[in-house]
Structure 1
């Protein structure tokens, strides 16, 4: 899908298109917006990983991800909730950098609903015996233990990324465009054009 000429100059159109791309990423597993990179901080360096985008709420300005609560990223988020979500679409010639504040959710209706709507194969991933990233002696040196972790739900956690700033970059042979979007205290959209 090519971005229309209006995106070169109209901030409202750009902003709405960003959220449309994100919403499409939830349902279209072939979209590059389906698998963003979540970047957190681990003591003295950045830690990046690809996660599946599971939900988008434009009104609340949030993205939803699921992960194993035993993973290292959870320790990192407990120490520092600031994060960056990065997405690049080669087809659309578009990069998004979403500055976010992360929150962790374990036992509440949001989590129960997310678990119930998860595919069976996704749930199996949470049944693994050891912590993700643990050293094993052979490639299949782990086991699934659904009977001890409630079919994996005990290890399931929801990450919400509250977006506080969007940086949009569109690459074009006719001239790149770059803009930053934030909301002020009145929740009005502020737009700043940047040198690409």
Structure 2
């Protein structure tokens, strides 16, 4: 999905970019399948990592994590987060800031767990916390029924989105805010 060649409405420009971001949900080859996410570490400094985009809806993204991970602890303590996605072939950058809600052991997590395949569920079967050393034979595996307690769906609701399209004829950049219903508000073109 290409962005408009000469966009005149910043909201349309941003919505086109966010539809492009949606390709990362189902297309493993999409440059938006794995995106950057920064949370606030206990030190107060940002901590960045890559996450797999699992769902994209108006004004939000979803990814999965392990409730025992540092990422989950950081987001539970301070839900502020920033997302960065970049498609080199399109020369398109999407940045977002917002708050993350964590879902473990609720209807949101259960529905997502049911949609995971066996390899997706396998990730949560380790008895060791994320980042800990594990045995080469992976003998520390949990039963699948026990693994679901570690599975967490993280939902990031956007407050602000910034889209930058790098173009040889002049870069195009727009920023917007989102309302509670996930609709673009206060959209404006800004200097690149």
User: What TM-score comes out, normalization by structure 1 length?
Assistant: 0.88
Q: Indicate conservation of the 8 Å contact 2:11/2:188, yes or no.
A: no
Alpha-carbon RMSD: 2.1
- TM-score, with normalisation over the residues of structure 2? 0.90
Once the two structures are superposed, residues 43-96 of structure 1 have per-residue CA deviations (whole angstroms, 9 ceiling, x without a partner) of: 2321111111111111xx221111111100111112211100100110111111
1:169 alignment counterpart:
164
Spell out the pairing of 1:23-172 with structure 2 (5 A cutoff): 23-42=22-41, 43-58=43-58, 61-135=59-133, 140=136, 142-147=138-143, 150=145, 152-172=147-167
Change (3 A) 1:25 1:188: closer
Which blocks of at least 5 consecutive residues in structure 1 are unaligned? none
Matches of 1:86 and 1:32, distance apart in 2: 11
What is the aligned length?
A: 190
Q: Distance in 1 between matches of 2:117 and 2:152?
A: 15
Asked if the contact 2:10–2:189 (Cα under 8 Å) also holds between the matched residues in 1, the reply is: no
Report deviation, 1:135: 3.9
1: CA distance, partners of 2:184 / 2:84: 24
Q: Tell me, in whole angstroms, the C-alpha distance in 2 between the residues paired with 1:180 and 1:143.
A: 49
For 1:4, the equivalent position in structure 2 comes to: 4
Three-state SS of the structure 2 residue aligned to 1:101 is strand
Contact 2:10 2:188 in 1 (8 A): no
Higher relative contact order (CA 8 A, sep 6+): 2
Asked whether the 8 Å contact 1:181–1:190 carries over to 2, the reply is yes
